[in-house]
Each structure stands twice: as C-alpha cells, then as structure tokens.
Amino acid sequence: MRPDILNPLFAPATGLPGIGAKTADLLERLLPLPDGVEPRVIDLLLLPPSGFIDRRNRPTISGAVPGSLATIEITVDKHQPAPRNSRAPYRVLCHDETGSLTLVFFHARDDYIQRALPVGETRYVSGTVEAWGDMLQMVHPDRIVDAEGLAKLPPVEPIYPLTAGLKRATVVRAVEAALEQLPELPEWQSRGVMDKMQWPAFGEALSRLHNPHVPEDAAAEGLAWRRIAYDELLAGQLALMMVRRKTLKTAGVARVGTGEKVQQILGALPFGLTGAQERSFAEIGDDLAGTERMVRLLQGDVGSGKTVVALLAMAQVAEAGQQSALMAPTEILARQHFATLSAFAGAAGLRVALLTGKDKQSERRAVREGLANGEIDIAVGTHALFQQDVAFNALGLVVVDEQHRFGVHQRLALSAKGDRPDFLVMSATPIPRTLLLTLYGDMDVSRLDEKPPGRQPIATRALPDDRIDDVIAAIGRAIEAGNRVYWVCPLVAESEQVDAAAAEERFASLSQVFPGKVALVHGRQDQNAKQAALSGFQSGETPVLVATTVVEVGVDVPEATVMVIEHAERFGLAQLHQLRGRVGRSDRASSCLLLYKPPLGETARARLEVMRETEDGFRIAEEDLKLRGGGDVLGTRQSGMPGFRLAQPSIHLDMLEMARDDARLIMETDPDLTGERGDALRALLYLFDRDHAVRLLASG
Ligand code: ADP
Ligand code: MG
C-alpha cells in the first residue's frame, strides 16, 4: 500500500552506516515513534536539529569574546605536554598578531596533538573561547584544521538533541546517509501555496535543515523548517479530517441506560460528584444515548476525577448491554485504572478485567474468553487490548487515557473491534484552545475544571540545592506524621539509563538517613520490581519513593503530601505541573519543593515563578506556550507539540489555519486522494506516520 518510492525511507535505520542495534536503541528513546516501530531512515531525516554551531565567527584573539564560539587563525608556538602521572592538561601555546591563546587538552593522546599542531605552523581552531585568569584559552577545540581544511569546514553545523551515549558525529553521519536515500518526491503542496510562501521543495528543505549554509537554514523560523512544519501540520489536519469522515461521521448506536447501575455506583462512592463531574457525565451520557457517534475529549488535571466519570459512562454502556474498554499508555497506569475501577464497579455488579502485554498465557486466555462471550463488562489495558486476537462480544465504548502520548489519531481509527463504538479520550494535559484543534481536530470537549472538595492548596517553594538538608529534615517530619513523600530525580539526559543511575544514587543517600523507609522506581526496572516499589509506597511500608519521571504517569496515593523535585530547572512547566499533581490528593496539607541548581536561567526562573503562583493547569499551559517561544536557539529546545516532530507551537501555529483550509479544500475536491496531487498527498501522510488515514481509504 505504501508507495514503492518511499521504501528506502522506511527501511530500518540500522541499515545506515554507524547505526548498530545499540545506537538504534538510543535513537528509539530520542524519537517520538509510534508504538512498536523501530527507528527508520525517515526518522533521522525528520529529526529536528536542536540548534546549530556557527563557525563563521572569525575574530582575532584579542577580539574573541569569552564564552562564545569562535574560529581563530593561530600560529603554534610551544607544546607543554602534561607531566607524567599528573592531572594537569596538555597545553599548546599559540598566538596571532593581537595576543596569545592557550589550547588545553585533558587525557588526549600526545602524538595526536603534536601531529595536529606542528610548532611554527598556521592552523585554524574552532571551539568555545574561555577566560582563564587573564589568559584566553580554548579547551578541546572541536576543529583543528589547516587552510585547506578551513575551506571545507561547514560554516554552520546542526546540533541534535542527544541522549547519553549517542555521539553527534554518529547522528551527523547517519543523517547524511539518510539524505542520500531520499528519492525525488512529487510536490504535494499546491502551486498557490508554494508560490506564495517561496518554499523550497521537501527534499531541498530537508537538505538545508541538516546541511545549513546560514543559521536560518537550521532554525525553526527559517523557510526550510517552516516548510516541513507546514507539511506536518497539513498531514495532521488531513488525517484528522479523513478519519472523521470515514469512521466518525457514520451514524452511531444509541446506548441508552436504565440508570440502575449508574445509581448503584454513585451510591457506592465515598464522596459526591463535583459540579464539573456531574456536568461532564451528563454530556457524555447524552452523547452515548444519542444516535450520532460520540467523539469527546474529557480534559482535567490529574486528580480532577476523570476515571470516576469514565466509570459512570461505562456503567451506562453496560446498562445498554455492551462492553467498554479503557486503554492506558503504560502498564503502571493500566494497573492503576484497574484498581480504581474495580473498587467501585463491583457495587453495580460490573466485571472488570486487566489485559496487558505481560500477562501469563493462561490469564490472557481467560480474559480473551470473557471478552468474547460478554462475561467481562470492562476491559482495562495497554495497547495489547487492540491486538488481533482480542475480540469483544459487543464493544460499545472505547476510552483512551492519553496522558502525554497523543496517539489519538491512531486510536480513533481502531473502530473495528466493536459496532461503531463511542469514543472518549481522557487527557490530563490542560491543552490550550489554540492547540486543541491541532491535536484533536473538532472533537467535543468536556472539562473538569474543579477539584474535588476538601483539597488544600499545595504550598510550592523553590529552593537552591544547597538547602537540601532542610528538605531532608522536612521529609523526616512528614513521614513522622504518617505521610508519604515523592522524590523525583533529575532528567539528566533524556536517557533512562542515566536517569536511573541518578535515582539510584539518591536512593542510596536517602536510605542512609531513613533506613528501610525508602523505595526506588525507575524505567529500567522490570515490572515486578516496579510494582513492588509502588506497593511498598502505597501501603506505607516505605513512605519515601525515589523515582525518575515514571511516576509522572498516574500514581494515585492520597497519603502522599510532599513532592520533592530535584533539578527542577530542567523540567518543563507541563511536567512540573503533572508531577506536583501527585500530591494534594486528600484533605491533608501538601507541599511541593522545587530544588534547583543556581544560577537559574531566565526561562527556568520564570517557570518556577509560575509554579509558585498558580495551580491552575490551564493557566500553566498558556504560560508554557508563551515561555517556549523561539528564543532558546542555541540551547536545547524544549520538545515541541506532542505528537509532532518539527511543528512547534509558538513558532508555527500561525500556519495552522492555512493547513486546515488547505485540508478542507482537499477533502472537498478529492476526498479519496485519487488524482495526481492525491498520490503525492498519500506519500505525505506516510512520511509523517499518518498512514492510518490512508488505510481507511482502502477499507472503504
Ligand atoms: P484523574 O483520573 O482525573 O487523575 P481520578 O479519577 O483518578 O482522577 O481521581 C483521583 C482521586 O480522587 C481518586 O482517589 C478518586 O477516588 C478521588 N475522587 C474522584 N472524584 C472525587 C470527588 N468528587 N470527591 C472526592 N474525591 C474524588
Ligand atoms: Mg485517574
């Protein structure tokens, strides 16, 4: 089905030079790949640079600004090798007519340095210039070349977001090779748009992005990136409209309840619904009972009570004699939902089952049978729920808990498991209105904008990391009082391995202070170890839980009252907000301690400030969008729009309207994508992993 011309781009990335299984593994962590997909050639092409190195700054030595990247012409004067058995570096003294510069090498091979920098010769060194006392130095120049080499030096080089263990040179080489695989592709953008925007062709745009001649080429604001971002936005809008037209505009099934089971559950809840929950369930209940198919987003902060609302919806579906499925992005979260639902479903005689990828054969068989013969009313699970061998007797409602994944386009296409089931998507991310459309198309929205009663505000403080002893004292008091404490460890390198190491270290040091009271959970543990750590925390046996960001995803422990976030300056606002939402889930007073390493950058300071000021998720989301602005060009960019690779909220949203109009026009003129441009658009949908929409075309 995929146009043959695209095959080289969908070959595994391991076929590229320098990419072995291990590197592919690292890439997989770096890339936002669809479930079960290994890195492919296209993924490298669509890997956005996180910035660029501009080697065109060519000052004299005296004109070089400490802290900046410079390429300097020098004459080599003298080598000062490191004395044996000393930790001193190898130094090379150099000069030009304006001053002197010392090149500094730690643990480098002497013969390499001597060959690269012969005494008396002229060389060009490129790297970051630093002041060292009143001397100027360059530690480990990234480039040392002669005049000939200088002519070949790329003026601007892209840098990529790297996970630990992944070298820039490896990525550069692989991207280079990937570019060679790029076939001549038909233009899918309309002539009108191309003329108006003056964009380069897709291939040309990719090549400029990865081989920039001027910084603009590798910048999100530049023409090359904008073109690809627009391609991505168009693919997204088009896919949403195609899915909507093919599966959702179809008539639905009226799932009218008797009210009996819903009442039983309401009666069993140890609390009354909030106004927002009542309103949301009323909206959902009407949709379910109506003959049009429901496609609704239930938005609400962590702890706002979404799961309970979903359960009521499921109860209504059960009253109508049908089944419901709840799909969660991770196994931990699936288990959590299973526990919450099971606690109250029994009151209405509803049977709940859990299905994940890791169940025993026999368990799995039993669940499959129960689903097929209708004995099970509610299935909770990961995407294992939608595997081939799972059949439902009468699936009437699919609930997808998105957390931060945003695979909604894909999930919506999964209607085959039931008879035109209704769809409810739950999202804990307070998505600003401007982004809703991009991510969800024109879905209906219910908002839980009210916290359950009795919840106290979370006292939030930002502290420099030299106050860690105060924090540890506060933890002591909290566990003394019978409360629980989360300690979230820094996101070091977007690499689970490195993050896990940091967490292990913190676990060890806290265990010394609170022996036997600390548990550890991180992404590298197996399922049993994770589960054991969480159970110990839940039961209170180990009231302190040291974790990497895995706890971000849905752990509900009402006794938890303290959230410590280490290196808070490294987290994005949305993430900080989600993490903080893990406490303040009961009527006990809670606090959130944001430990940071000074000095704080401007954006990081602003983020922590917002956290101290407000707990309102929607406000935080708006601020987040503002703060992410294009400014941070040389630093690592914060990841852009969820579900998108190159399109970034604050930079490319101006083109969203245009993409929507364009997609509408396509749907009006060639909805089945049959014409010449239709073919090109199919290629576009594949390139951005929106091919589920193309598959719907074929299924008619
Ligand atoms: P979410 O899924 O939005 O994170 P949950 O549905 O898991 O939230 O609810 C979080 C916690 O709050 C659960 O322990 C739940 O039992 C409780 N809860 C839900 N609704 C209410 C309410 N109206 N009053 C009090 N507690 C509630
Ligand atoms: Mg929940």
DSSP states of 324-375: EEEE-SSHHHHHHHHHHHHHHHGGGT--EEEE-TT--HHHHHHHHHHHHHT-
- Given this model, what pLDDT does residue 631 score? 30
Residue 306 in contact with ligand 1 by CB distance below 6 A = yes
The ligand that comes nearest to the alpha carbon of residue 333 is 2
**If you measure from the C-alpha of residue 441 to the centroid of ligand 1, how many angstroms do you get, rounded to a whole number?**
28
Q: Whose CA is nearest to atom 11 of ligand 1?
A: 303
Residue 308's pLDDT is 94
**pLDDT for res 110:** 87
Q: Do the Cβ atoms of 453 and 530 come closer than 8 Å?
A: no
CA of 253 to the centre of ligand 2 (A): 27
Distance CA 574, CA 274 (A): 24
Q: Within 10 A of 481 (CB to CB), how many other CB atoms are there?
A: 10
Residue carrying the six token digits 């505000």: 457
Ligand lying nearest the CA atom of residue 455 = 1
Distance, CA 485 to ligand 2 centroid (Å)?
19
pLDDT (0 to 100) of residue 550: 62
E-strand stretches of 538-602 = 544-547, 560-565, 590-596
452 ligand 1 Cβ < 6 A = yes
300 alpha carbon to ligand 2 midpoint, in Å?
10
Ligand 1 proximity of 502 Cβ (cutoff 6 Å): no
* 566 alpha carbon – ligand 1 mean position (Å): 27
Q: What is the pLDDT of residue 635?
A: 27
Of all protein residues, whose CA lies closest to atom 20 belonging to ligand 1? Answer: 305
Question: Which residue intervals of 374-485 are DSSP H helices?
Answer: 408-412, 433-440, 468-480
CATH T-level fold of 260-448: Rossmann fold (3.40.50)
Beta carbon of 299 within 6 Å of any ligand 1 atom:
no
Tell me the two tokens of residue 262.
């819903």
Determine the Cα–Cα distance for residues 110 and 118; give it in Å rounded to an integer: 12
The superfamily in CATH containing domain 458-614 is: P-loop containing nucleotide triphosphate hydrolases (3.40.50.300)
Question: 302 in ligand 1 pocket by Cβ < 6 Å?
Answer: yes
Superfamily of domain 56-153: Nucleic acid-binding proteins (2.40.50.140)
Separation of alpha carbons 53 and 71, rounded Å: 11
Residue among 280, 281, 308 to mutate when testing ligand 1 (max atoms within 8 A of CB): 308
273 lines ligand 1 (CB under 6 A): yes
- At 407 the pLDDT is 58
- What is the C-alpha separation between 541 and 539, in angstroms, rounded? 6
Cα separation of 530 and 520, whole Å? 8
Q: What is the pLDDT of residue 495?
A: 53
Residues 6+ positions from 98 with CB-CB distance below 8 Å: 60, 61, 62, 63
The reply to whether ligand 1 has any atom less than 6 angstroms from the CB of 556 is yes
Interatomic CA distance for residues 697 and 667, integer angstroms: 12
Distance 475 CA to ligand 1 centre (A): 25
Q: Is residue 427 lining ligand 1, measured as CB closer than 6 Å?
A: no
Residue 306 C-alpha to ligand 1 middle, in angstroms?
7
Q: Is 352 within 8 Å of 342 (Cβ atoms)?
A: yes
Helix (H) or strand (E) holding 105: strand 99-105
Give the pLDDT score at 23.
85
Going by the DSSP 8-state scheme, the letter that residue 656 receives in this structure is H
Q: Are 284 and 446 in contact (CB under 8 A)?
A: yes
- Looking from the CA of 502 toward its CB, the CA atoms found within 13 Å total 20
Q: With H, G, I as helix, E, B as strand and everything else as coil, classify residue 518.
A: strand
Task: Give pLDDT, residue 70.
Answer: 92
Residue 427, number of CB atoms within 10 A of its CB:
24
Handedness of CA 432, 437, 439, 442 (dihedral sign): positive
- Residue closest via CA to ligand 1's atom 15 equals 305
Considering every ligand atom shown, identify the ligand nearest to the alpha carbon of residue 448 and give its number.
1
Q: Where in the chain is the domain with CATH 3.40.50.300?
A: 260-448, 458-614
- CB contact set of 424 (below 8 Å; sequence gap of 6+): 284, 294, 296, 297, 298, 310, 313, 397, 398, 399, 400
Spatial neighbors of 467 by CB under 8 A, at least 6 apart, are: 595
Look at residue 250 in the predicted model and tell me its pLDDT: 67
Ligand 1 pocket member 300 (CB < 6 A): yes
User: Which of 364, 363, 306 lies closest to 340, judged by CA?
Assistant: 306
312 pocket-lining for ligand 1 (C-beta < 6 Å): no
Return the ligand 1 atom nearest residue 274 CA. Answer: 23
Query: Does the beta carbon of 303 sit less than 6 angstroms from any atom of ligand 1?
Result: yes
Tens-digit pLDDT profile for residues 127-169: 989 988 888 999 989 899 999 999 988 888 888 876 656 777 8
- Mean pLDDT over the full length of the chain: 87
Can you tell me which atom of ligand 1 is nearest the CA of 277? 23
Residue intervals in the chain for CATH 2.40.50.140 = 56-153
Is the alpha carbon torsion for 224, 227, 230, 234 positive or negative? negative
CA nearest ligand 1 atom 26, residue: 452
Low-confidence ranges of the chain (pLDDT < 50): 629-639, 700
277 lines ligand 1 (CB under 6 A): yes
